[in-house]
Structures are given as structure tokens and as C-alpha cells.
């Protein structure tokens, strides 16, 4: 009986120990069989980053956040590093979330969340900080440029991370520059240059530098409008095609130059205008109030700026008042009767074509070879009459000798 009770106690003790070990292993597996869960975070420089660490099961084991220098930021709800930018958002047995305000490029790196089990479990989260590029500046151009000058426009932006991308536009058309990237600490300075020879077509053209970056919702833009000085070019425009006596006539000196060439001077036949009462100059226009034959001649306008002088000429011929030009009433032409010159021209063309046909036909006939037959009727001379001679000739037809004759 005593032995039986002893055996029962031993079995009870063994079972208790087995259940105790099993419970201990199950508890250890619940807290030690998992790792903290984190996520990488990207933030723009100057912004705010939230760093969160979670576990699915925790038996009151503490969570901890550490920075890239392995300095403890928070151990549970206890702040360990004196940095006013870092504050606690949430601390429970299953989550530890902290907030970093006014993030700088130096905050970038690998952060560690630790679960203090035996052994300690850790998970990494990378904080990426985007450096915002500074607004671009265009340098290298001093207004104004002169035609045929070679200039270099340089667009510069600094502080970007990763390096910003620069694009150039000439008005609305993209042009390509030369890119240069230099590292400054953790950020980059980017330059792009355009080198070209300016001409008068570049005057007033807008060159725009566009900076694009992942941290920007819209690109930064800056624009430089070119001012190009060039020598003048002149052209004279007249008010009518056929100037006639008694008419009002105007000449305009159209100039193209920068600065605008002034003043505009008018001359006739190399000298001053002879009749200032009828020839009125107003700015760039010369007006002759009543044309007459004495106004015939060469008119010249002249203008200059600090880059040169230019001139243009126009030769005026004044037609008679009744000249049937484009300015005359079209109905007036029918009152002068038929156009004899036109009729004579048509007749001449017809005669010429006829002569050409005769010459061509004659040359064709002269070169054409012809053939014919001659018949000799033997004994026809001795025939008593004409009828007999004909009969004799027909009888000898088959024996006729073919003869050829050539036209020369």
C-alpha cells in the first residue's frame, strides 16, 4: 500500500513537471518567436517623419527606437535623447511610434527598432530625406548683347538631393545645354550652360531654365529675355504702282534695327529735297502732295544707330495723267478701238507657222525616193494607126524594164 502511494506521487510529480515545461516553452515561443515590424520612410527636408514599430504579440516586453548613430531615442514611453524635434506619438506593449519634426539631411539613415526578448530581436527602417533644390538663377548675360557676340547662359541650382534635373527652353522649344553636377556635403549643386552666337533673331527671345526634382510638385522656372543690338536695315515702300501727274504720292522708309535708327533723312538725286512745300517729311514718311514730271528721280532714305548706317533707294517715274495704267478706269480702254498691235502679232504668228510647214514639207519631198515604170512598145513606131500602137504597147507591158528616177 505504501509502495502504491509512492508510485502515484512520483507519477504526479512527473506530470506536473511536464506541464510546467510545456507552459514555459509556449510562453517563450509567443514572445520570442517574432520580430518587430517597421517600414522605410521618405520625407522632404524640413518636413515631419513618423517612425512606427509594431509586434503582433508581446508579454510586456519593451520596444525601443535608436537613431543611425545607435543612440536610444525612446525606450518604451521613456525619452532617452534630448532633442526637442523628437517626440512620442504612441507607446503600448505592441507599438512604439515617434515623430521627428523639421527633418534635415543629417537625420537620414538607418533607424533600429528593438524588442527586448532573450535574445533581443531587431528590425531596421531607413529614413530617406529629400533635399529641396534652391530656385534657379541664370548668369553669364549682360544686357544688351551685340549681333554676332558669343554668350554663355548658365543656370544654377543648389541643395538638391538627389541631384536635380535642368531643362532649357528657347521660347517654347526645348534646347539642350551642358550639365555639371558637384556634391556639397549630402546635397548637390547642378549647373547647365548654353553657349551660342546671337543674331538679330534672338532679340526679344525668352530663354527659360526649368528645374525638376522629386521633391517638387511643379518645376521651378526662371527666364531671361535677350536684348540684342544690331545695325539698321532699311526698305522703301510706296503708296501706288503707277504714279501719275497730279496724284498724291507717299514713300515710307521702313527700318529694322536696335536701337531704332533715328532720325530718318530723305534725299533726291544725291541732294536735298528740291521742293519742301510739296515734299513733306513726317517721321519716316515722305509725301509729295501733287506729282509732276519734275519729281522724276532717285529718292534715298538714310538712318543710323551706334552700330552702323543704312540706306535704301527708290526710283520714281511720273506717268502722264491719261496713262492707261492699273490706276485708270478699266472701261476707258474700250474707248480707244481695237488693239492693232495685238492683231498684227496674231497675223505674224500665223505667217510664221505657215512658212515653217512649207519648209518642212519641201525638205521631206526632197529626201523622198520615188519609182515609176517606162514602157517601150517594140514596133509601135511602125503601127499604121494609134489603136494598133496601143495594142502593141500593152502586149509588151510584161517585158517592160523597171527604171528608177531620183528626185534631186
**In 227-243, which positions are buried (b, 16+ CB within 10 angstroms) versus exposed (e)?**
bbbbbbebebeeeeeeb
Mean per-residue pLDDT for 88-110?
Answer: 95
Copy the grid coordinates of residue 398: 510584161
The pLDDT of residue 157 is above 90? yes
Quote the pLDDT of residue 342.
64
The pLDDT of residue 372 is above 50? no
CA distance 313 to 300: 4
Helix (H, G, I), strand (E, B) or coil at 106: helix
Q: pTM of this prediction?
A: 0.62
pLDDT digits (tens, 9 = 90+) for 248-263: 999 999 989 999 998 9
DSSP H or E segment with residue 22:
helix 2-32
CATH placement of domain 137-226? 2.60.40.10
| Pairing assessment for the beta strands 265-268 and 63-66 based on DSSP bridges | unpaired
pLDDT digits (tens, 9 = 90+) for 11-49: 444 333 433 333 434 444 444 557 899 999 999 999 999
The pLDDT of residue 135 is above 50? yes
The pLDDT of residue 57 is above 90? no
Range in 79-83, 87-91, 223-227, 379-383 with the lowest mean pLDDT: 379-383
Range in 9-18, 88-97, 110-119, 366-375 with the lowest mean pLDDT: 9-18
pLDDT digits (tens, 9 = 90+) for 267-297: 999 999 998 889 999 989 999 999 999 999 9
CATH number of the domain at 231-316, out of 3.40.50.300, 3.30.70.260, 1.10.390.10, 2.60.40.10? Answer: 2.60.40.10
Quote the pLDDT of residue 381.
52
CATH 2.60.40.10 fits 36-130, yes or no: yes
The residues with which 189 forms a beta bridge, in sequence order, are 182
Range in 73-77, 262-266, 404-408 with the lowest mean pLDDT: 404-408
**Are 235 and 311 spatial neighbours (Cβ–Cβ below 8 Å)?**
no
Between these two residues, 30 and 168, which has the higher pLDDT value?
168
Quote the pLDDT of residue 90.
95
User: What are the DSSP calls for 341-402, one per residue?
Assistant: HHHHHHHHHHHHHHHHHHHHHHHHHHH---EEE----TTGGG-SSHHHHHHHHHHTGGGPPE
Quote the pLDDT of residue 345.
73
Residues of the chain with CATH 2.60.40.10: 36-130, 137-226, 231-316
**Are 285 and 249 spatial neighbours (Cβ–Cβ below 8 Å)?**
no
CA distance 200 to 347: 57
The pLDDT of residue 202 is above 60? yes
Quote the pLDDT of residue 369.
52
Quote the pLDDT of residue 357.
85
**Are 245 and 291 spatial neighbours (Cβ–Cβ below 8 Å)?**
yes
The pLDDT of residue 406 is above 90? no
The pLDDT of residue 351 is above 90? no
Tell me which residue has cell 527708290: 314
Quote the pLDDT of residue 383.
52
Q: How many CB atoms lie within 10 A of CB 174?
A: 10
Amino acid at each position: 500500500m505504501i509502495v502504491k502511494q509512492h508510485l502515484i506521487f512520483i507519477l504526479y510529480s512527473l506530470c506536473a513537471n511536464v506541464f510546467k515545461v510545456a507552459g514555459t516553452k509556449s510562453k517563450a515561443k509567443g514572445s520570442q518567436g517574432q520580430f518587430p515590424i517597421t517600414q522605410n520612410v521618405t520625407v522632404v527636408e524640413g518636413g515631419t517623419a513618423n517612425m512606427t514599430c509594431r509586434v503582433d504579440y508581446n508579454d510586456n516586453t519593451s520596444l525601443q527606437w535608436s537613431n543611425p548613430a545607435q543612440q536610444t531615442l525612446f525606450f518604451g514611453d521613456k525619452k532617452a535623447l534630448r532633442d526637442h524635434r523628437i517626440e512620442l506619438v504612441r507607446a503600448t506593449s505592441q507599438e512604439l511610434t515617434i515623430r521627428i519634426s523639421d527633418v534635415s539631411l543629417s537625420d537620414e539613415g538607418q533607424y533600429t527598432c528593438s524588442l527586448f526578448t532573450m535574445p533581443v530581436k531587431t528590425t531596421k527602417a531607413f529614413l530617406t530625406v529629400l533635399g529641396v533644390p534652391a530656385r534657379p538663377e541664370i548668369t553669364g548675360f549682360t544686357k544688351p548683347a551685340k549681333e554676332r557676340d558669343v554668350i554663355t547662359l548658365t543656370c544654377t541650382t543648389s541643395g538638391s538631393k538627389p541631384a536635380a534635373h535642368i531643362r532649357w527652353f528657347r521660347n517654347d522649344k526645348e534646347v539642350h545645354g551642358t550639365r555639371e553636377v558637384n556634391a556639397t556635403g549630402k546635397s548637390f549643386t547642378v549647373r547647365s550652360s548654353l553657349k551660342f552666337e546671337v543674331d538679330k533673331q534672338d532679340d526679344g527671345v525668352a530663354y527659360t531654365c526649368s528645374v525638376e526634382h522629386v521633391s517638387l510638385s511643379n518645376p521651378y522656372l526662371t527666364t531671361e529675355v535677350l536684348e540684342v543690338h544690331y545695325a539698321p536695315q532699311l526698305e522703301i515702300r510706296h503708296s501706288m504702282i503707277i504714279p501719275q501727274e497730279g496724284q498724291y504720292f507717299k514713300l515710307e522708309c521702313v527700318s529694322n534695327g536696335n536701337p531704332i535708327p533715328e532720325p530718318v533723312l530723305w534725299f533726291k538725286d544725291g541732294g536735298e529735297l528740291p521742293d519742301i512745300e510739296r515734299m513733306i517729311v513726317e517721321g519716316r514718311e515722305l509725301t509729295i502732295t501733287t506729282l509732276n514730271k519734275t519729281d522724276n528721280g532717285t529718292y534715298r532714305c538714310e538712318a543710323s544707330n551706334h552700330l552702323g548706317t543704312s540706306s535704301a533707294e527708290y526710283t520714281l517715274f511720273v506717268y502722264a495723267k491719261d496713262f492707261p495704267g492699273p490706276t485708270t478706269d478699266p472701261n476707258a480702254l474700250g474707248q480707244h478701238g481695237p488693239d492693232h498691235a495685238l492683231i498684227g502679232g496674231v497675223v505674224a504668228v500665223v505667217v510664221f507657222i505657215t512658212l515653217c510647214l512649207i519648209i518642212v514639207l519641201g525638205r521631206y519631198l526632197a529626201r523622198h525616193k520615188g519609182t515609176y515604170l517606162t514602157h517601150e512598145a517594140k514596133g509601135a513606131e511602125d503601127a499604121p494607126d494609134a489603136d494598133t500602137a496601143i495594142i502593141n504597147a500593152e502586149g509588151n507591158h510584161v517585158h517592160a524594164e523597171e527604171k528608177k528616177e531620183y528626185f534631186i
